[in-house]
Structure 1
């Protein structure tokens, strides 16, 4: 098994190569530059440094979202193009589920709430247990002081991702709310880990019809401004 994984859920991009033995190569690059401008070279370099060529891969794994509309569109379009060109299957992984996998080994017995900023007091969030199973499915959440209060009443919950900073003024003092100091971003490393499980179970997407998991309808900057004025 040889998998090429791509994550462009937020600014920048992340690429990784996994085999049956584990992670072979990875690049995480988070800059203000366009994902599309960097992604091709990162894929080429990661495969080359792992000792293979693109034609050697068995599948392409992509983070399907939620996240940045533009970023997800770039990642999914690139992944689908590779699958068409190489005649390889496509595997899609939930971005938040892959993020939770980064921290699970360090917080046994906790729940995990990865968050991606969705502007103002809204975040894309999910809650997963230490086995990476969903406790609360992916959703857009408008944060208030009462957010997650039922879970926090009986569980220690780790909040992280670029949307988690919005939580601290609201319920950051709660005894069961945990905020890691590390800046946890989406990464193709854990996208590839979940992709390997999906590959073993032949959980492939229809390349022709697959679309990113935007979670919300896209709004242009002009539309967002108009919506704000109406409110």
Structure 2
């Protein structure tokens, strides 16, 4: 099994190759960029780098994160993935970022209720309540409203810095700062979905937007 993995997340986009024996990852920050506007170009550079190691025609599928998160990042990553699969006639494996973050939790317990939160435009966070591996509700709220929604019945999962965690110490929190890496977790999910036959025609894959995208007026 040979898979290409694309993550256009906010922190450090990357592309990886998985071949059943190991994982080879190229991060966007390995390429020079003066500002965040260079992230899309850097993700392209990641893919060019990996294409020198293997012919993409040998791939069995491409896994790509579909959000929620940066509107620009989601569009760029999904567009690149769709362009590649169109050229090689292979299926997509869409992975939402809530699933990816929960996959990073060490020894996660399927009997527990988790609330995965991802920074949106602060003070809001995207959130998803996951019970027995299924998303039961999701949305975008500030921390206080999420706290009222959970009523201390879920373990919060997030990728926090120390300062943010201290601010919200009243939560039962699993901080992913020391969790499994994103490339490793994305590879594990991609392999799982591939084996389960969760392979989607690229034309049917859409971004997972929670909030509407609003263009800023000049």
- Per the TM superposition, whether the score is higher than 0.5 is yes
Q: Choose the corresponding residue for 2:89, options 87, 91, 105.
A: 87
Does residue 173 of the first structure (1) align with residue 170 of the second (2)? Answer: yes
Instruction: In structure 1, list runs of 5 or more residues that go unmatched.
Output: 224-231
> How far 1:102 sits from its partner (Å)?
1.1
Deviation larger for 12-21 or 136-145: 136-145
1:20 equivalent in structure 2: 20
> How far 1:137 sits from its partner (Å)?
3.5
1:100 equivalent in structure 2: 102
Is 2:140–2:210's contact at 8 Å kept on the other side of the alignment? yes
Q: How does 1:1-231 map to 2 (within 5 A)?
A: 1-21=1-21, 23-29=22-28, 32-46=36-50, 48=52, 51-105=53-107, 111-128=113-130, 133-134=133-134, 136-144=136-144, 147=147, 150=150, 152-153=152-153, 157-161=155-159, 168-169=166-167, 171-174=168-171, 177-180=172-175, 182=177, 187-222=182-217
Instruction: In structure 2, list runs of 5 or more residues that go unmatched.
Output: none
Distance 1:143 1:45 in 2: 40
Deviation larger for 95-104 or 61-70: 95-104
RMSD after superposition: 3.3
Distance 1:28 1:137, change over 3 A: farther
Is 1:2–1:56's contact at 8 Å kept on the other side of the alignment? yes
> How far 1:166 sits from its partner (Å)?
5.8
Distance 1:205 1:164 in 2: 38
Count matched residues: 213
Question: What secondary structure, in the 3-state scheme, does the structure 2 residue paired with 1:88 have?
Answer: coil
> How far 1:168 sits from its partner (Å)?
4.9
Distance 1:77 1:161, change over 3 A: same
Distance 1:74 1:197, change over 3 A: same
Q: Alpha-carbon deviations, 1:85-104, whole Å to 9, x = none?
A: 11111110111111111123
TM-score, with length taken from structure 1: 0.76
Distance 1:167 1:12, change over 3 A: closer
Question: What secondary structure, in the 3-state scheme, does the structure 1 residue paired with 2:144 have?
Answer: coil
Question: What secondary structure, in the 3-state scheme, does the structure 1 residue paired with 2:202 have?
Answer: coil
TM-score, with length taken from structure 2: 0.80
Is 1:15–1:28's contact at 8 Å kept on the other side of the alignment? yes
